[in-house]
Amino acid sequence: MPKVSPTKFFRRQSIESRVKADIVSKFVGAWSKIVLNSQVKYGKKPKAAYVDLFSGPGSYEDGAESTPLLVIRASVANALARKGLQTFFNDESAPLVVSLEQEVGKVGVAQLEYAPVFTKEKASIALLQGYALGADTPQFYFLDQFGYANVTQEMIKFIFVARRCDCAFFFRISRVVAALNNPKSQGILATLFGGKRAAALVESCLLQRSVLKKEALIMEALEDSMKEAGASYFHAFSFRVYERHSAGHYLIYIGKNEKGLSIMKEIMVKASSRQNDGVGTMGFTQVEANPSLFEDPIGDLQNELLLRFDGQELTVDDIYIGHHAGTSYIRANYQEALRRLEAVDSVQTFPPAAERPKRVGRSTMAGDTKIVFRRKEPQA
């Protein structure tokens, strides 16, 4: 599999890399605040870990800062993160690690209780074992890289032994498509997807001429593989040249906790290149398509909720948590859909709209608001 030259890659930050770095660094900030605050609340010493296995030099030649430096800056600026966030940075290229150490040293890391750890090894389970992170330590792993050969199902299984674990990595469809047609790459595919799944993927993709259909098959196989490895939640943020009719690459999120998924989706929506009625595309495109006059994402959500929860009584939180995984919808979208269903008497709410506080002229929809979905009468 051909490799991208690290020297060439870090000359100038691409817009995709900027968006990716923004998403990951914001997630780490929000995630670490939640897990560290939770530990303090229960009288525990705050401790969490951020691990970057393909860290790079810290900044690009054009001066733009990459993910590791953004994470360190945010940690130094936050009192709780200064006290409890451990950071581990690794890259197989020793010169890149030396550059990163120099960049990090300028940020004021002396204020951190845990000094950043720098290693210069090939990403592996043995490397992770050397970090000696206990299963009780909340952990976030960023597995960004130029290819995919070092992200294996076994590595994900090892990572997800932790009780609270989240992970993100870049996934390039074009490289997987190329590997599918190269017998020498079959072993690498097996380490990522599992042997049987990889063989089935090769066979099914050979029957497809459409790159987009191959992409859908690959993403389905990847999600199945990650869930088999221990990740309960999977969400993908796409990067494309054209919003429609072009294959892309992805920033993949996987996690064990619904809260982590919620945080990531909120950030991904804001990073999306387009939103329609508050629903993000969960992707970034250089050339956006004109939205269709027939698109109604909130209306689609209303119909989904009526079908899924027919005759049931649940809270807003129950509805959101029970439905949003695998969708592009965030909490605010559910609140809006439920308000609209309430307005047309498709659901009954407790307390009703007139008794709930108003914000910006609209009734709020708190998480503990009870929603009763009126049972549909069977058609004769």
316 and 176 together in one domain: no
Identify whether 93 is part of a domain. yes
CATH number for the domain harbouring residue 219: 3.40.50.150
Between CA 159 and CA 142 the distance in angstroms is: 11
317 and 237 together in one domain: no
- The half-sphere exposure of 363 on its side-chain side, counting CA atoms within 13 A, is 17
269 and 303 together in one domain: no
184 and 332 together in one domain: no
Percentage of residues in the chain having pLDDT higher than 70 = 91
Identify whether 66 is part of a domain. yes
- The mean-pLDDT minimum among 243-247, 284-288, 364-368, 372-376 falls in 243-247
Q: What is the pTM of this model?
A: 0.92
282 and 303 together in one domain: no
Identify whether 292 is part of a domain. no
CATH number for the domain harbouring residue 302: 1.10.10
CB within 8 Å of 312: residues ≥ 6 apart? 372, 373
Q: Which residue, 287, 308, 337, sits at the end of a domain?
A: 287
Q: Which residue, 287, 315, 334, sits at the end of a domain?
A: 287
Which residue carries 């892309």 as its tokens? 248
Residue 154 and residue 74 in contact, taking contact as beta carbons nearer than 8 Å: no
Identify whether 378 is part of a domain. no
Higher-pLDDT residue of 191, 1: 191
Which residue carries 């020297």 as its tokens? 7
The two tokens of residue 365 are: 């929809």
DSSP assignment of 275-317 equals EETTEE-SEEEEEPPPPPTT--HHHHHHHHHHHHTTT-EEEHH
Identify whether 314 is part of a domain. yes
Domain span at residue 166 reads: 6-287
Residue 264 and residue 246 in contact, taking contact as beta carbons nearer than 8 Å: no
Identify whether 339 is part of a domain. yes
Residue 325 and residue 261 in contact, taking contact as beta carbons nearer than 8 Å: yes
341 and 257 together in one domain: no
Q: What φ, ψ does residue 349 adopt, rounded to 5°?
A: -120, 145
- The mean-pLDDT minimum among 90-99, 192-201, 284-293, 304-313 falls in 284-293
Q: Is 132 left (phi over 0), alpha (psi -120 to 50) or beta?
A: left
Identify whether 341 is part of a domain. yes
Q: Give 4's pLDDT tier (boundaries 50, 70, 90).
A: very low
282 and 305 together in one domain: no
pLDDT of 8 above 70: no
- The mean-pLDDT minimum among 165-174, 260-269, 270-279, 287-296 falls in 287-296
160 and 229 together in one domain: yes
Identify whether 56 is part of a domain. yes
Type of residue found at 120? K
State residue 148's pLDDT score: 59
| Mean pLDDT, residues 158-178 | 92
Average pLDDT, the chain: 91
Q: Which of 1-5, 61-65, 296-300 has the highest mean pLDDT?
A: 296-300
Q: Which residue, 287, 314, 347, sits at the end of a domain?
A: 287
Between CA 307 and CA 341 the distance in angstroms is: 13
Q: Give 28's pLDDT tier (boundaries 50, 70, 90).
A: very high
104 and 162 together in one domain: yes
pLDDT of 317 above 80: yes
191 and 220 together in one domain: yes
Domain count, the chain: 2
80 and 108 together in one domain: yes
Local structure of 131: helix, strand or coil? helix
CB within 8 Å of 53: residues ≥ 6 apart? 90, 123, 127, 141, 142, 143, 145, 150
Residue 58 and residue 66 in contact, taking contact as beta carbons nearer than 8 Å: yes
Q: Give 1's pLDDT tier (boundaries 50, 70, 90).
A: very low
Between CA 35 and CA 155 the distance in angstroms is: 23
320 and 251 together in one domain: no
What value does the CA radius of gyration of the chain take, rounded to a whole number of Å? 22
